[in-house]
Amino acid sequence: MLNGIDELAAALRESREYTLSMYGHLEGAQWQVPLLSIVNPPAWELGHIAFFQEFFCRRWRPDDPTGSRVRSRLAGADALYDSRTVAHDARWTLEYPSHARLLAYLGEVLADTLDELAASREDDRQRFRLALFHEDMHGEALLMTLQTLGLPAPRRPHASLPATQAGPSRDVPFAGGEFLQGAARDDGEHAFDNEKWAHPVRVAPFAMASRPVSNGEFRDFVEDGGYRRDEFWAPDGRRWRGETGAAQPRNWVRDADGWAMRWFDGIVPLRDGEPVVQVCRHEAEAWCRWAGRRLPTESEWEFAARNGGRDDRLPWPSDPGAAAGLDYRLERPAFVADPVPSPSGLGMMIGGVWEWTASPFAPYPGFETDAYAEYSEPWFHSHAVLRGGCFATRSRLVHSRWRNFYLPHRNDVFAGFRTCALDARSM
């Protein structure tokens, strides 16, 4: 729950160590990245992480929501790192402090945050959890940037990838029914504004695949001419395919030995038994039409992850430890067993790859913005919902009610997909 001072302080320290390790291996020109709509300059993103933590943990107060009464530790930080006011493309033209000063700013802000936390009341710790989870989310974004640009992966220890490949997928039937989707007011969990609040939703009977789609299953679609056949692509997907020239997933390459995949700054063999990753929702929908399947709605996904709409925080019945497919414990997504088998029979609902759903990102009934007002509201109705977390998502952040959201054409996200049968009555 991360309510206690010591527990929160330890998490904040660990998150900062993790953040610094993401870019700690970069040298010289590797810090200079091209202007792309899907990445940020490393100097900006690290400074923004510090700025956000400083703003909400030291400067923000309910009676001073702009933080104007308390100055930043870094002169000019508001004009450099406030994502609400600093346009994306402008972030390549700003004059940033030296790398040494940036690291000092990160350290100063963390020290101030820990001091503020030590003096905080239990009912005033939401802002510290907000800063922690914001940094955790940016940690994943930093890794996405390295992969997008073909830069070396961080030098962090990893567990060995499983030697065995995934077994056949099977459909798990659900009877459907009414459940309360979203965050409960009294469960003690941190909730972002787009998860508030639990509200009744009814889902019809459905059947969901026991695991995400694999590389081998997606390769069959590619080799069957799936990217050339218009009948599998919705109008938006056909438009995206025409604009990008996509003929296979963005990081797949083919040579004399068959299919391989670019992973950071290297090429690795494409393992059929690993989850397909870095496909956009257009690609996921096209595969579904080819295979006679469909994407789940986010309500179906949450109902299944909560083992038939129960109050389970995670798909497995207890919390013995984080799943192996989280926290960047593996160097890339793989099919791994959950810590405890899910009662539903579904596997890897949390971790591995983010899973596209068929649902647009929309507010729940009665939506209101939180102190971080720009987190969700600007993106409603243009973005699509993903669920479940990926191999690089922090285990303390993700759970069965957590909503992620990206534009449907984004194929730089560590996302794959899981499918449902078209007709549950056939199961």
pLDDT digits (tens, 9 = 90+) for 340-375: 899 999 999 999 999 999 999 999 999 999 999 999
- Residue with token string 């690290």: 46
pTM here? 0.97
User: What's the rounded Cα separation, in Å, for the pair 89 and 83?
Assistant: 11
Confidence (pLDDT) at 427: 47
Query: Which parts of the chain sit beneath pLDDT 70?
Result: 1, 318-321, 425-427
Cβ neighbours, 10 Å, residue 227: 17
Amino acid at 57: C
Class of domain 5-149 (CATH, top level) = mainly alpha
Say how far residue 144 (Cα) sits from the centre of its chain: 10
- pLDDT digit string, tens, across residues 106-131: 999 999 999 999 999 988 999 999 99
Task: Please list, residue by residue across 376-394, b when 16 or more beta carbons sit within 10 angstroms of its beta carbon and e when fewer do.
Answer: beeeeeebbbbbbbbbbbb
Say how far residue 45 (Cα) sits from the centre of its chain: 17
The answer to whether domain 157-244+273-427 has CATH 3.90.1580.10 is yes
Confidence (pLDDT) at 112: 98
Cβ neighbours, 10 Å, residue 348: 28
Q: Which of 145, 127, 123, 117 is nearest to 19 (CA)?
A: 145
- Give me the residue spans of the domains in the chain: 5-149, 157-244+273-427
Both tokens of 29, joined, read 């020109």
